[in-house]
Amino acid sequence: MTLRLTHTAKTYPDGTKALLPTDLSVGKGEIVSLLGPSGCGKTTLLRIIAGLETPDAGSEIWFDNDNVTPLPVERRQVGMVFQSYALFPNMSVRANIGYGLKMQQLPKSEIEARVTEVLEMCQLQPFAARAITALSGGQRQRVALARAIAPRPRMLLLDEPLSALDASLRGTLREELAVLLREFDITAIFVTHDQDEAMAIADRVAVMCQGRVLQTGTPEELYRNPKSPFVAGFVGNAMSLRGKADGATLYLDGGALTLPARGEGQTIFVRAEDVCIGDDGPLRGKVETVTFLGTHYKIGISGITSDTIASIHAGQNAPKVGDMINVAIKPETLMLLPQEVDVT
Amino acid sequence: MFKSKVKIMQLAVTLLACAFLFVPIIMSVLAGLTANYFKGISSGLTFKWVIEVWELYANSIFLSMWLAIACLVCTLIIGLPAAYGLARHPGWLSRLLEEFISLPLAIPGLALALALLQLYGSMKGFRASWTFILVGHVLYTLPFMVRSILAVLASIDLKTLEEGAASLGASPWQRFRDIVVPNAMPGILAGSLTVVTLSIGEFNLTWMLHTPYLKTLPVGLADSYASMRLEIASAYTLVFFILIVPLLMAMQWASARAQRITQ
């Protein structure tokens, strides 16, 4: 199913604009992530698509060729995974998964067959008869997913599906979820504030901030070609180099840097993996922190610009805290972004 | 365990308190079973008085049971949707309504009965029917039902659970039937037992509202104390105990269960 939103906005009764007029389309079978910090309107947008929130007048939501804007959630045929999972504590795993099918008034035998099928897909067979309270966080998450997918919804909506889990489990389940969603072959939208999660699962990411979608694109596009300082900072933690640009040269506290283009009136960003420590670098800074991360060191360098700059250093030995070091940044790795789009 | 003086003191105080509570009850029960109370237990034990109580007051017993069941049905019909509404729309208005429903707790039963008599006393048919007492009982027990359901509903994330059911295609009624009621069940059970127990034991209000043809169990008890042999009144107490104690125990069990869930 394709989803099309036109001019969709949400203003709360107290005047808070949770979502500014937004257009968004999601193709058939596409997995789109709404990524943004808390309070950016991503959950509001998801709830509007689900039908749990009424958008402002003039908003339109299309599922294929059906205008579903006036339909309540129970008639939109969407599957929803809630942040808290919202599993029914009065029912077993099997009954939870079968509930949507029961609402469709399918014959008992077919409900049984389809629940069994979904249980297998999500590897939940051993837990089928258990009570919800007897499940671990990861198992609950899978039951929530199984329950949402069992009635074969037109679209799957996931609200921070992994945030209720502890960090170690989140990593494993992230990949599992990415595999499962593709196996289901369903149009899916999921909300997250975690850029790694968005990158790992989504085909396309929509970065949101303060009630608007700033940029949509594949994870690679967003990472390599951010259109605004916010996207650069939020996706891949780009650091801004604050200095004075004069033509194609940027004057920083720690030295002068060659830019790929004229830099006046622009904000210049660089990513930690492009900050190279080496004797021939034109910039000079002082090592503040050294963190060993197994495959590489993360080194915090002060004195180059007003903030500490991080560098990913892959060598066998790292400089020591307090050392003065030279740093080089290749001009083509710098990102020049217009200042005025900065909405943060 | 009897080594320290403190322990012995504690035990003594506990036993004394128990005796204080139980001795009158045992005396009363024994009085209901002795052939002649003034001659004492030596006159022999008998069920004569219990049988006599049954013959004299069976109607009161049945009326009380009937009233309790009717009262339970009414408080469920009013209380469950009310508690659901209050839980679903928290705010100052709900708070105010909740306080309003709870008012009968603070007002003495006598005052409540007086108000009812002032308002409906002139409606002869209603005044003389059992439904008049029922109205009083419902007024008095409703807050217990609402509060006990509300406590359970407030402890679960009702809104998200309902949204979950709605996303699976459940209509508002199906959500209420499949999600709200089953999850509120411990509160409903605890509330129901409280209502039945209170309704059977209620005296203040009922004393004011009853007519000579409509005596409930506690009113009959007062009547038997006032006009019968002491043995009959005591046997009555025994009957009353047999009816109310199992209910009380069930109530304890149910409210303990409800509390476990709200924690």
The beta-carbon neighbor of A103 closest among B156, B157, B168 is B168
Q: B136: which residues sit within 8 A by CB, 6+ positions away?
A: B109, B112, B113, B116, B202, B205, B206, B209
Q: Which of residues 121-180 of A touch B (CB under 8 A)?
A: 147-148, 151
Quick one: tokens of A299?
Answer: 């080194």
Q: What is the pTM of this model?
A: 0.82
What is the pLDDT, as a whole number, of residue A342?
47
Cβ separation B170–A52 shorter than 8 A: no
Domains for chain A: give ranges and CATH numbers.
3-234 (3.40.50.300), 240-338 (2.40.50.140)
pLDDT band at A344 (very low <50, low <70, confident <90, very high): very low
Q: Which residues sit opposite A206 in a β-bridge?
A: A34, A216
Helix (H) or strand (E) holding A31: strand A31-35
What mean pLDDT is predicted for residues A45-57? 94
Please report the pLDDT score of residue B1 as a whole number.
58
A99 contacts B170? CB cut-off 8 A: yes
Pick from A232, A197, A187, A243: which is nearest to A343 by CA?
A232
Contact A78, A50 (CB under 8 A): yes
Q: Are A27 and A49 in contact (CB under 8 A)?
A: no
Token readout for B90 is: 């928290």
Task: Look up the ipTM and state it.
Answer: 0.85
Percent of chain A with pLDDT over 90: 60
Contact of A40 with chain B, judged by CB distance below 8 Å, is answered with: no
Q: Are A241 and A269 in contact (CB under 8 A)?
A: yes
User: In Å, how far is A52's CA from the nearest CA of chain B?
Assistant: 7
Q: Does B183 touch chain A (CB under 8 A)?
A: yes
Inter-chain CB proximity B163 and A103 less than 8 Å: no
What are the φ/ψ torsions at residue A307 (nearest 5 degrees)? -95, 165
Q: Does A62 touch chain B (CB under 8 A)?
A: no
Q: What angle do CA B26, B31, B35 make, to 5 degrees?
A: 140
For chain B, say whether A75 makes contact (Cβ under 8 Å): yes
Enter the DSSP assignment of A192: E
> How far apart (Å, rounded) are the C-alpha atoms in residues A123 and A117?
10
Cβ neighbours of B185 in A, within 8 Å: 90
User: Looking at CA atoms only, how far is residue B6 from chain A in angstroms?
Assistant: 44
Q: Map out the domains of chain B as residue ranges.
A: 1-46, 56-262
Residue B90 touches partner A, C-beta closer than 8 Å: no
Which member of A50, A78, A103 has the closest CB to residue B170? A103
- In B, minimum Cα distance to A87 occurs at B161
Question: In B89-203, which residue ranges form alpha helices assigned H by DSSP?
Answer: 92-106, 109-120, 124-127, 130-155, 158-167, 172-175, 181-201
B181 inside 8 A of chain A by CB: no
- B184 touches A at CB < 8 Å: no
Contact with chain B for residue A87, Cβ under 8 A: yes
Tens place of pLDDT per residue across chain B (263 aa): 567 888 899 999 999 999 999 898 888 888 888 877 777 777 777 888 888 888 888 888 889 989 999 999 999 999 999 999 999 988 899 889 888 888 888 888 888 888 888 888 888 888 888 899 999 999 999 999 999 999 999 888 999 999 999 999 999 999 999 999 999 988 998 899 899 989 988 888 888 888 888 888 888 888 888 887 788 888 888 888 888 888 888 878 887 777 776 65
| pLDDT the model gives residue A184 | 86
Does the CB of B262 have a partner CB in chain A at under 8 Å?
Answer: no
**Does the CB of A27 have a partner CB in chain B at under 8 Å?**
no
Please judge whether B167 and A78 are an interchain contact, meaning their C-beta atoms are less than 8 angstroms apart.
Answer: yes
CB contact under 8 A, B169 and A77: yes
A89: closest chain B residue by CA: B183
Average pLDDT over residues A252-274: 87
- Interface mutation target, options B153, B167, B179, chain A, most CBs of A under 10 Å: B167
Q: Which amino acid is at A10?
A: K
Out of A41-50, A182-191, A316-325, B38-47, which region has the weakest mean confidence (pLDDT)? Answer: B38-47
Are B171 and A74 in contact (CB < 8 Å)? yes
Q: What is the pLDDT of residue A146?
A: 94
Residue A341 has pLDDT above 80, yes or no: no
Is A248 an interface residue toward B (CB < 8 Å)? no
pLDDT digits (tens, 9 = 90+) for A105-157: 999 999 999 999 999 988 899 999 999 989 998 899 999 999 999 999 999 99
For an interface test with B, the pick among A43, A74, A118, A158 (most B C-beta atoms closer than 10 Å) comes out as A74
Query: Which CATH class, in words, describes the domain spanning B56-262?
Result: mainly alpha
Measure the CA–CA gap between B256 and B241, rounded to whole angstroms: 22
Closest CA to A289 of A315, A316, A323, A321: A321
Q: What residues of chain A lie within 8 A of the CB of B170, using their CB?
A: 74, 99, 103
Section A191-201 average pLDDT = 92
Report yes or no: B168 at the A interface, CB cutoff 8 Å: yes
Nearest CA in chain B to A75: B169
Token reading at A165: 């889990």
Amino acid A35: pLDDT: 95
